[in-house]
Structure 1
């Protein structure tokens, strides 16, 4: 079942690369904060690298000026997410979260089966806005589309 606005982000642990791979609990990411979490099907993939992540990099200061944290998640490992962050000039503070086995993505009900493309289990392309761990807005893309989960769309949706 897909998480819905009004529901609490499930407890879980993701990974970040900081002095080695470090676990980070969802409570630490979302607790007491306003957060936009956006998901990409894979680091270094075409739409993710040309549009999705670059939009959040470009508009990062606008989110921060509204007191909103920004986090990117993918079903990739922390080393890949870190290398992608460097390649994309991701600013300090924009969290690059690895959900290596897809457990957190599954807990949100936002996984997709990309085995026919040789990619295994991945996360759907989506963005959500949460306040103190409660989802307020959720935008999930239709397969193959990029219309509702980009930075500009989320800034407009949050208002």
Structure 2
């Protein structure tokens, strides 16, 4: 059972860290389906590993949880994962001056994830693999009845 928000918790406690789900940055989703940014700032099918890698490289304190967003229809592992990020110090000041708000972190993720090495190779091979798979299916079938 989820506990109610407690003001007595410090900002360094994990319960006070912000949550980021991959669906927040998915350009294939609508705002009603959980996307938080404009489409031009989003990425196609981001994963929690990519989000974790970018935030760790930026020097933020990150935690990964095996959770699923409530608006996510697919239960696959690809869409699973929630990232927790410490946004503020215990006195309430931003931990990093570059990331004072949740939106600044989301914008940074939207700009940085497409530049990852794992993303660079995925853009061009898709059309050629689809063409070869469709051409190999043509002669197969049960035949005449």
TM-score, normalization by structure 1: 0.29
Greater share of residues in helix: 2
Q: Which has the larger radius of gyration?
A: 2
- Name which structure has the greater RCO, CA cutoff 8 Å, separation 6+: 1
Greater share of residues in strand: 1
TM-score, normalization by structure 2: 0.31
